[in-house]
Amino acid sequence: MTNRSSRAQLVVFNLAAVVMISAPLHAQPMESLGTRALGMAGAFVAVADDPTAIYWNPAALAIGPFGAFAVEGQDLERGPDLLTGADRRRSFFIGAAVPSIGFGYYRVTMQSVAPDAAQRDGRNDPRAPSPGLLSLVTDNVGLTLLQSLADGIAVGGTLKYVRGTAAAGAASGPIDPGDENARLDQAARLEGHARGAFDLDLSAIAKFKMLRLGVVAQHLVEPTFATPEGVEMTLDRQVRLGVAVQPKAGLLIDVDIDLTRRLTVSGEERRRIALGAESPVGGRVMVRGGLRFDAEELGELVPAAGLSLGLSKRFWVDIQMTLGNSQNDHGWGIGGRFVM
Largest CA-CA distance found in the chain, in angstroms, rounded: 78
pLDDT digits 0-9 by tens, 84-95 = 678 899 999 999
Is residue 261 scored above 90 in pLDDT?
no
Least confident piece of the model among 46-55, 118-127, 172-181, 312-321: 118-127
Average the pLDDT over 279-301 and give the result.
Answer: 88
Check residues 74 and 271 and name the one with the higher pLDDT.
Answer: 74
How far is it, in rounded angstroms, from Cα 233 to Cα 194? 12
Closest CA to 156 of 57, 241, 223, 244: 57
231-235, long-range: CB within 8 Å, 24+ apart, which pairs?
231/18, 231/19, 231/22, 231/166, 231/168, 232/22, 232/166, 233/22, 233/25, 233/26, 233/134, 233/136, 233/164, 233/166, 234/26, 234/27, 235/26, 235/27, 235/28, 235/138, 235/162, 235/164, 235/199
Please, are residues 303 and 41 in contact by the beta-carbon 8 Å criterion?
yes
Please, are residues 25 and 233 in contact by the beta-carbon 8 Å criterion?
yes
How far is it, in rounded angstroms, from Cα 302 to Cα 320? 13
* DSSP code of residue 58: G
Domains, the chain, ordered by start: 2-339 (2.40.160.60)
How far is it, in rounded angstroms, from Cα 58 to Cα 63? 10
Least confident piece of the model among 47-61, 166-180, 315-329: 166-180
**Amino acid identity for residue 46 in this structure:** A
Closest CA to 200 of 229, 171, 158: 158
